[in-house]
Amino acid sequence: MREAIEGKGICGTARRICGILLRYGLTPRKMLRKLEKFERILNDYGCTATFPTTAVLLKRYCRHLKSVIGSESEKRAAAFSGGSCERMGGDCVELAVHGLFHRDISTLEKEELRRELREALRIFMKSGIEPVGFRAPISKEMRILRKS
């Protein structure tokens, strides 16, 4: 939140929070409907999509997110996971690591970044999901990734 206020200011942050609440709601229900619609569109066109997902969001909404990810991801992650989440269906969406939290990673020290990325990967694997890649959530300077 501190980073949002520093970057957008108090008014900008308040507008962003209101926009997110209006778009996605307070519960996962509205977002799940949007994901299901997106999945139908992907199926209609025979396409797949990769959603960059923060590990804390995955941990909180694992059961819901598993409703739209492909089963191949779960098979690959089985060796690393206790299968703590229950699969609900869907095969056209895969998830990529988008950090542990959604914050500017260029502000992190090298070791802190490594710890966060390891923890994010651990959460994905424990959830039974092998991520297909990584996308930095916010990074004003990409040099930190090259050095890590």
Mind spelling out the 3-state secondary structure of the chain? CHHHHHHHHHHHHHHHHHHHHHHHCCCHHHHHHHHHHHHHHHHHHCCCEEEEECHHHHHHHHHHHCCCECHHHHHHHHHHCCCCCCCCCCCCEEEEECCCCCCEHHHCCHHHHHHHHHHHHHHHHHCCCCCCCECCCECCCCHHHHHC
Domain count across the chain: 1
Q: What is the mean pLDDT of residues 37-58?
A: 85
For residue 15, tell me if it sits in a domain: no
pLDDT in tens, 63-114: 777 766 655 544 444 433 333 333 334 567 788 899 998 888 888 899 999 9
Domain CATH for 100: 3.20.20.370
For residue 140, tell me if it sits in a domain: yes
Residue 94's domain spans which residues?
28-147
Predicted TM-score (pTM) of the model is 0.67
pLDDT in tens, 114-138: 999 999 999 999 988 888 888 888 7
